[in-house]
Structure 1
Amino acid sequence: MTQYLMSVHGTEADHDMTTGGGYGSPEAMREAMAETDRYNKRLQAEGYWVFAGGLKGPSTATVVDGQGAQPVVTDGPYLESKEHIGGFWIIEAPDLDTALALAADASKACRGKVEVRPFEG
């Protein structure tokens, strides 16, 4: 079995729970979260689940560069971008076709585009 990262990308505004983010309304956001929870339970029941998590908005990020004599800590995301990773799954699947089918279901559940990448080794 190969492990895959399935990541969901979105804008900073997509993280605003008070407005419903990119979902259009708080109710639509709650429905997507409930559907995603059901999807997560399915992954667990079918043996694909390794780990998953949603991330706070990119403005909460901190970058640490420890390559020099003293670490340099910078507030904000590493990359300036319009879209950022909002959440992810790590799954184990027998092949890429299975991972892509699971990503299609994930995309439908969370109502966002899902990028699939295999781990090295």
Structure 2
Amino acid sequence: MLMIHHGSTPTPPSEAWDRLPDEEKAQIAEDYRAVSETPGVTPGQQLRSPDSATTVRVQDGRTLTTDGPFAELKEAIGGWLLYEADDLDAAIELAGRIPAARLGGAVEIRPIVEW
């Protein structure tokens, strides 16, 4: 699984995104489209901002909820995708093509547990 940490990456809808030149927005969209169309990729979804999240914990048999994640914004996951990679090098190459990795974010590669 490739988890996309957006960090300071400008994403729509936001003022930072609106300030990007149209050519750069188009290139970012094309880069994400190309990643999604890579053989072996199962596209995921972009997630809404962390302030829209609800975190659930169960303590002493009671379900507790809090608004937002219990993480710094730079640690929050902004999206994800699955990739059937031949090896780690292939996953790293794909992760390097994800725009967030070059625009202030990061991509975490994590193997799925097979049961």
Identify whether the pair has TM-score above 0.5, normalized to the shorter chain.
Answer: yes
Q: How many Å apart are 1:10 and its aligned residue?
A: 2.3
Query: In percent, how many aligned pairs have the same letter?
Result: 26
The residue number in structure 2 matching 1:25 is 20
Q: How many Å apart are 1:74 and its aligned residue?
A: 0.9
| TM-score relative to the length of structure 2 | 0.75
Structure 2 counterpart of 1:113, from 70, 89, 106: 106
Q: How many Å apart are 1:114 and its aligned residue?
A: 1.8
- Are residues 29 and 37 of structure 1, via their aligned partners in 2, closer, same or farther at CA, if it must alter by over 3 Å? same
In 2, distance between residues paired with 1:108 and 1:77?
Answer: 20
The residue number in structure 2 matching 1:101 is 93
- Are residues 67 and 51 of structure 1, via their aligned partners in 2, closer, same or farther at CA, if it must alter by over 3 Å? farther
**Unaligned residue ranges in structure 2 (runs of 5+):** none
Query: RMSD of aligned C-alpha atoms?
Result: 2.8
In 2, distance between residues paired with 1:102 and 1:36?
Answer: 11
Q: Residue 55 of structure 1 aligns to which amino acid in structure 2?
A: L
Q: Residue 9 of structure 1 aligns to which amino acid in structure 2?
A: H
In 1, distance between residues paired with 2:101 and 2:8?
Answer: 20
**Unaligned residue ranges in structure 1 (runs of 5+):** none
Q: How many Å apart are 1:110 and its aligned residue?
A: 7.3
- Are residues 98 and 16 of structure 1, via their aligned partners in 2, closer, same or farther at CA, if it must alter by over 3 Å? closer
Deviations 1:36-86 (A, max 9, x none): 113212x2xx2x12341111101001001134322111111122x141211
**1:63 and 2:55 aligned:** yes
- Which deviates more from structure 2 when the two are superposed, residues 54-63 or residues 26-35? 26-35
Q: How many equivalent residue pairs?
A: 111
Would you say the 8 A contact 1:103–1:114 is kept in 2?
Answer: yes
Q: Secondary structure, in 3 states, of the residue corresponding to 1:66?
A: strand
Stretches (4+) displaced over 6 A: none
